[in-house]
Amino acid sequence: MLNMLLSQVLDLMTPVLLAAMAGALCERAGVFNIALEGKMLVGAFVAVATSVAFGSPVLAVLSAVLCTAIFASPLALGGARLGGDPIVIGIGLNLLASGLTTYLLGAIFGVTGTLVDPAVTALPRFGVAALADVPVVGAILGHNVLVYLSWLLVLVFNIYLFRTPWGLRLRGIGEVPSAAAAMGANVSRYQTAIVVLAGGLCGLAGAQLALGSVALFAENMTAGRGWIAVVAVMLGRAHPLGIALACLGFGLADAVGLRLQGQGLPNQITDIAPYAITLLAMIGLGLRGMKKKMKSV
């Protein structure tokens, strides 16, 4: 039972974790990225559409990464190079993604609501049969490559941001861009590259959402996970390890909600579990900020 719960938690948290890593990189670069929801949705649609066309999960993932990186270009160019408001651009991208994927779903596949096709191939899982029944270990070793990659990226980004000169430069650009520019760093170029890279990470998140535990695409199937990723960045203070812990909590809430649904509770109640946790977390952040202000007065 523990293995099944933990395995489900890891599956459910992976899309949020990948998107939150994208948000953290943008935050460190000084670009507030709230377009995670829309980019995840585009990645999910492209992954399923490519899988239908070619039947290859590898090609589906690569296509999702490429298309979401391209989809992120308005934020990269408008927010980083042209000085536009990243929040306005991000909201526009979220709305565009919702409308565009719904339109393409009908225009290309002639369906509304949900696309279920036998040609859609889910991502294969890799595990060790001999360790499948070992508590905790068995649950960790029975996932697709994107789940393992998400945790590897947490480690890689942690080292990159805090143990390398390039990470130090990136953090300097996000904190004091004028000082970084005076030291010779091309601020807009760094920010543009990071936003495009973040778009690719959201493509991985969308591919995991559509081809990880299920093999389908549904209209607005991200269902607020991109916004949960934004909150995870805030809770984790844009630190990879802190974000991972926040996403683990969200994944646990989601998994518990699904299990309660299996016990007969209405899905309307169980579905709100991760969002209730998100709301409580935001309230906690607000209260903590108020306390700091009161102490500084």
Q: To the nearest whole number, what is the mean pLDDT of the chain? A: 87
Determine the average pLDDT of the residues in 167-195: 88
pLDDT, one tens digit per residue, over 238-292 is 999 999 999 998 888 888 877 777 677 676 666 676 677 777 776 776 666 666 6
Please give the single-letter amino acid code of residue 185.
A
What is the tens place of the pLDDT at every residue in 189-202? Answer: 899 999 999 999 99
With 80 as the cut, is the pLDDT of residue 207 above it? yes
pLDDT of residue 23: 96
Helix H, strand E, coil C: the string for the chain is: CHHHHHHHHHHHHHHHHHHHHHHHHHHHHCCCCCCHHHHHHHHHHHHHHHHHHHCCHHHHHHHHHHHHHHHCHHHHHHHHHCCCCHHHHHHHHHHHHHHHHHHHHHHHHCCCCEECCCCCCCCCEECCHHHCCCCCHHHHCCEEHHHHHHHHHHHHHHHHHHHCHHHHHHHHHHHCHHHHHHCCCCHHHHHHHHHHHHHHHHHHHHHHHHHCCCCCEECCCCCCHHHHHHHHHHHCCCCHHHHHHHHHHHHHHHHHHHHHHHCCCCHHHHCCHHHHHHHHHHHHHHHHHHHHHHHHC
Instruction: Determine the Cα–Cα distance for residues 23 and 34; give it in Å rounded to an integer.
Output: 8
Q: Cα torsion at 243, 249, 254, 256 (round to 10°)?
A: 160
The whole-number pLDDT of residue 221 equals: 93
Whole-angstrom CA distances from 280 to 24, 163, 276 are: 21, 33, 6
Least confident of 44-53, 70-79, 127-136, 149-158: 127-136
Distance between CA 76 and CA 188 in Å, rounded?
9
Exposed, middle or buried: residue 12 (CB in 10 Å: 0-12, 13-18, 19+)?
A: buried
- C-beta of residue 229 within 8 angstroms of C-beta of residue 64: no
pLDDT(80) > 60: yes
φ, ψ for residue 182 (rounded to 5)? -65, -25
